[in-house]
Structure 1
Amino acid sequence: MTAFEKLRAGWNLLNGSTLVGLGLAAAARCSLTRGPKGLILAHGYRPRLPKASAFTMGNVVLLRRTAAGLADNQMLLSHESRHSTQYAFCLGLPFLPLYACAALWSLWRTGDPASRNFFERHAGLRTGGYVERTVRRGPARRRDPAAPVL
């Protein structure tokens, strides 16, 4: 682990986000292994939400039961590592409502929760397995018949 990765792991432990991730992994009866970049891989996540095949809580990457091969996907783990850094920069759990707002913004703009999501874009859309969708036009504005034409 690099010095930065050690610092990030320590900070995410102190801010509580890794502890929440470990609690979630325990509640879902996941098995834990050490991953690269100071990550902890939690295999066998079963609850329906979130729908992603992998997601991060602090330094814990939760992997679905059907996504066992993802633990060997270095591009995806780099993507999840960037999310771990985002937890550190957001001081832990405040990342969750910030991420939700970014996902709603993206959903409104593109019909997809990732394409214009600040956090997914900075973690790398393609490395996270996302396809970038185009921005939809906003609702058509009705012209006021009394307004002057320019």
Structure 2
Amino acid sequence: MTKPQRLRSVANWVNGSTAFGLVVASAGHCHIRRGPRGLWLADGYRFGFPVAGAFTVGNVLVTAHEWPARVEKYPDLLGHEERHSWQYVVCGGLPFIPLYLASMGWSVLRTGDRAARNVFERDAGLAAGGYDDAPVRPLAVSMRALLSSRRR
């Protein structure tokens, strides 16, 4: 590991996010193993939440699939998820989760898509995470769409 990767690893242990990630992966009945660059790879996640091809908690990268198949389909995915592990450091650990959810809500409001204007997904690279960009729509259009979906 490089010095920055060691720093990230230590920081995410200290802030509790990697320990929490290992608990989440264990609760999801994942097969957990050491990965590259100080990361942990957890595959076979059995819960339907969060809805994602992969997600990161601290330095733990989790998928319902098998990591080799995910990386074959999305060659830049490990780098994308590793970027999220850095975001845990910057956010001080678990505060990343509500900040991410708020950013996801903002993205849905502005584009109708959970990732397109999510600052964390954009920083990690939309395409690398398997996401498409979407145009920003006027707030009035977003509010009408939100209100009409609530009426249904």
User: Unpaired runs of 5+ in structure 1?
Assistant: 141-150
AA matched with 1:17: S
Identify the structure with the greater helix proportion.
2
**CA 13–74 in structure 1, closer or farther in 2 if over 3 Å, else same:** farther
1:40-79 mapped onto 2 (5 Å cutoff): 40-65=40-65, 69-71=69-71, 73-79=74-80
AA matched with 1:127: A
Percent identity, aligned pairs only, is: 49
In the alignment, the residues of structure 2 paired with residue 105 and residue 64 of structure 1 have an alpha-carbon distance, to the nearest angstrom, of 26
Aligned residue pairs total 140
TM-score using structure 2 length: 0.87
In the alignment, the residues of structure 2 paired with residue 68 and residue 113 of structure 1 have an alpha-carbon distance, to the nearest angstrom, of 26
User: Of the two, which has the highest radius of gyration?
Assistant: 1
TM-score using structure 1 length: 0.88
Residue 32 of structure 1 deviates from its aligned partner by 1.1
1:11-90 mapped onto 2 (5 Å cutoff): 11-65=11-65, 69-71=69-71, 73-90=74-91
User: Unpaired runs of 5+ in structure 2?
Assistant: 142-152
Query: Residue 111 of structure 2 aligns with which residue?
Result: 110
Query: Residue 10 of structure 2 aligns with which residue?
Result: 10
| Structure 1 vs Structure 2 CA RMSD | 1.5
Residue 68 of structure 1 deviates from its aligned partner by 5.1
* 1:31-70 deviation digits (Å, cap 9, x = unpaired): 1122122110001001000110100000000011366511
**CA 116–103 in structure 1, closer or farther in 2 if over 3 Å, else same:** same
Residue 2 of structure 1 deviates from its aligned partner by 0.8
